[in-house]
Amino acid sequence: MKEIELTSLDIKLYTEKLDNGLEVYMLPYKDKKKYFISYATRYGSDVLKFDVDGEEYAPPLGVAHYLEHKLFEEESGIDPFTFFSESGTDGNASTSYDYTQYICYGTKKFDENLRYLVQFVNRPYFTDENVLKEKGIISEEIKMYNDIPDYKLEIKLREMIYNSLSRKYDIAGTIDEINKITKEDLYKCYNSFYVPNNMFILIVGNFDCKSAINIIKEELDSKISVNLPKIHNVNENDKVNKKELIIKEDIEVPKIGIGLKVPSKNLKLNDVELDLYLNMITTILFGSSSEFRERVRVEELLNDIYSEWESTDNFKTFYLYATSKYPDKLVEEINYEFDNLSVTTTAFNRIKKVWIANEVKTVDNVYRMENNVYDDIISYGKPIANRVELIRNMDIKVLRNLIKKIKFDNRCILKMYSKDKKKL
């Protein structure tokens, strides 16, 4: 078992890689009651085509999400949600573009819940009947989301940003596509990607490391590694697909979505550093203490705002979502910020101090630490042990050089207005 010191945070992370390739990450706390377990596979809706048994295979859209749903159906009839709830524990799962994870979290019966989580993820039970039954459930889920304006805003914005990448599609797929899914599709994708050398387990909170690793080995040592399928990548244009779009929905207050697409291949920074500097740029532009926030507050232009970066092969993509009674004016203010970006040493150093303080405070929160370590594994293939030092060593000269390389005009703007103008 390898010990990793999370520098400047006074906490240790323990890792072990089984002979079959399964990675285990453990972050124990002695002074907490809660624990959080995540069992994840590096397989999500990004995979549109891969080679299996020497042939190309393109499953219907939404298979990864469908697979997540079906693993909660056991041949024994036991409902995993019921199993976890009987010990006062919560269980759940989620599918993203690049990962699927199965989780449980609580304060009691750690050993039993860890063992059961590992067991049910490793005993798929797909039949023609239960696959057909799930189609109605997921179809209703898709219909429900299609009626949510914020969801429509996100999907439309993704379609404006991406030309070919799977990120332009909904993770759940479409009703037409999921109706094509068969149990053979599910088994083929499961057997290709739900294998130990493509999966990891992350545990954070109150638990015993030796007990946890023993349970994991008892359950998974007999699993063998396999040759992972070759995934077919899609060529994506550097430019956004569509620059501007206006749509109308049944909403009270107009919404906007803005996407900035940044090709990352020529930016000359490793992924961790690049993400830090990109987040610095957007914090300076639109953070809570930015000049933009103060200006739109005084002018009462902004109801709420949310932004994030997303990483894909060869691209970093920035999403900004906001609601405003005056969307045209708000877009003007946002465009002004992009087109007149400047960085002061004062703002740069202030943000660094805030980030370092937040990193230190996060250590005390089991769920936030789990989320941070999980995101690291997804984004970088391993936990980042020296993040505080990386932040402390950030250089404003590097930031300014990066800003010169980014084409900030490679962005798209989506406006969502009310169908009924009287509501404005």
| Residues with active-site annotation | 68
Give every strand in the sheet of 2-6, ordered side by side: 2-6, 11-17, 23-28, 199-205, 35-41, 100-106, 90-95
Please identify which residue in the block is written with the tokens 């370092």.
356
- Provide the H-helix boundaries in 196-270: 209-220
Q: Tell me if 393 sits within 8 A of 225, measured CB to CB.
A: no
Nearest partner of 201 among 14, 400, 342, 6, judged by Cα = 14
Q: How far apart are CA 363 and CA 418, in angstroms?
A: 43
By CB atoms closer than 10 A (0-12, 13-18, 19+), residue 422 is exposed
Q: Tell me if 161 sits within 8 A of 413, measured CB to CB.
A: no
Q: How many residues does the chain have?
A: 424
3-state secondary structure 286-325: HCCCCHHHHHHHHCCCCCEEEEEEEEECCEEEEEEEEECC
Q: How far apart are CA 366 and CA 29, in angstroms?
A: 8
CA-based radius of gyration for the chain: 23
